[in-house]
Amino acid sequence: MTEHIEAKKDEIAKTVIMPGDPLRAKVIAEKYLEDYKLVNQVRNIYAYTGTYHGKQVTIMASGMGMASIGIYSYELYKFYDVENIIRVGTCGAYVKELKLYDTILVEQSYTDSNFAYNQNGSIETILNSSKELNDRIKKTAEKYQIPLICGTIHSSDIFYRENDSFEQLVEKYHCLGAEMESFALFHTANLFQKHATCLLTVSNSLVDGSTTNSEERQNNFLRMIELALNSIE
């Protein structure tokens, strides 16, 4: 047990699939896992451990933002000996080539946040995800003929920006879009020499203003979840 996770050490699998929303964690567990058990509900951050095609996996929410995923990923890696975390979430598109419900595999995360510097003095602003996990996911996507877009994402601390000039992020860092957690996850994985990556579904576009509603996001989220689950070894 930790300050934020009540599960016993053996109740958390070596691979954790991590949506932001606790209710998404519940939906994933109910739809895909066999013999699953609720192992955490502190602060309503639900975690479920069960099996998928005979392989043990934990589905655990992260909450929103770097501060929240930073807490849970740190405790999972350090105190529960988790080896792999795959974040699954949504993002807003920065480029016209991305369409609603496209699936992105994040190979690099750029941030303008001070998360890493404040955590351990690191001045890095671009971090790579796990090549090992990414190779597995690419192989699974090819097997199931799931279109996958790979590239860099902007991981931001801010949702409501007064001056949202995202075009310079596209030009300078080749960011495909924006989300709010991946950089903190990758930084924390690096601290413990563990593995992390991030799969995202495009939920809205900052280019043309197109968007989805919560029900559509829930339903179209599943392709990404299946991609993550079928990549577990």
| Total length of the chain | 233
As a whole number of angstroms, the distance between CA 216 and CA 1 comes to 36
Q: Distances in Å between the alpha carbon of 183 and those of 94, 139, 202, 231?
A: 17, 24, 18, 21
Q: Give pLDDT tens digits for 80-92.
A: 999 999 999 999 9
User: Which of 82, 31, 38, 32 has its CA nearest to residue 52?
Assistant: 32
Whether residue 217 is predicted with pLDDT greater than 80 in this model: the reply is no
Sign of the torsion formed by the C-alpha atoms of 63, 188, 107 and 159: positive
Tell me which CATH homologous superfamily contains domain 9-229.
Answer: Nucleoside phosphorylase domain (3.40.50.1580)
DSSP string, 5-70: --S-GGGS-SEEEEESSHHHHHHHHHHH-EEEEEEE-GGG--EEEEEETTEEEEEE---SSHHHHH
Location of structure tokens 């075009």: 167
Statement: the pTM of the whole predicted model exceeds 0.85: yes
As a whole number of angstroms, the distance between CA 93 and CA 115 comes to 23
Q: 3-class SS at 153?
A: strand
Q: Give pLDDT tens digits for 48-60.
A: 999 999 999 999 9
Q: 3-class SS at 119?
A: helix
**All structural domains of the chain with their residue ranges:** 9-229
Q: Give pLDDT tens digits for 199-214.
A: 999 999 999 999 988 7
| 198, 62 contact by CB (below 8 A) | no
What's residue 219's pLDDT?
67
